[in-house]
Amino acid sequence: MIKQLETLLQQGQDNAMLRFGLGKAYLDDQQPEKAIEHFTACLQHDKNYSAAWKLLGKSYVQLDKWKKAADTYQQGIAIARSKGDKQAEKEMLVFLKRCNKQLDSTK
C-alpha cells in the first residue's frame, strides 16, 4: 500500500487525500515520524481535515510527545467543532484528556 501511494506522490499527484492515506499507512506500519510528515502535508492542503488532525495527534502520542499531541488535538477539536464534525470532536476530546493526564503525571 505504501509503495503504491508513494508512487502516486512521485508522479505529482499531491493532494490532501493522498497525503492522508500515506500518513495513515505509515502510522499503521508503526512509522509515526513518516506519518507526521504526511499528515502535516495533508493539513497544508486542507487545514479543515478533521481526521488528519486526529491521526496527527495519535502519531505524536506514539512518539511520547504528549504536549505536541495535546496541542494538535486542541487545534483539531476547534476545526471539527467549526465544521460540525461531532464524532471527530468527541474522539479528540477523549484523546486530549488522556494527554493531559499523562502531562499532569510527569509534573
pTM of the model: 0.95
22/99 Cα distance (integer angstroms):
25
% the chain with pLDDT above 90: 97
Taking the C-alpha atoms of residue 77 and residue 90, their distance in angstroms, rounded to an integer, is: 8
Tell me what pLDDT residue 15 has: 97
CB contact set of 26 (below 8 Å; sequence gap of 6+): 2, 32, 34, 35, 37, 38
CA distances from 80 to 15, 21, 29, 53, 59 (A): 20, 19, 26, 9, 18
pLDDT in tens, 41-91: 999 999 999 999 999 999 999 999 999 999 999 999 999 999 999 999 999
Q: Which domains does the chain have, with CATH numbers?
A: 2-105 (1.25.40.10)
Tell me how far apart the alpha carbons of residues 21 and 96 are, in angstroms, rounded to a whole number.
23
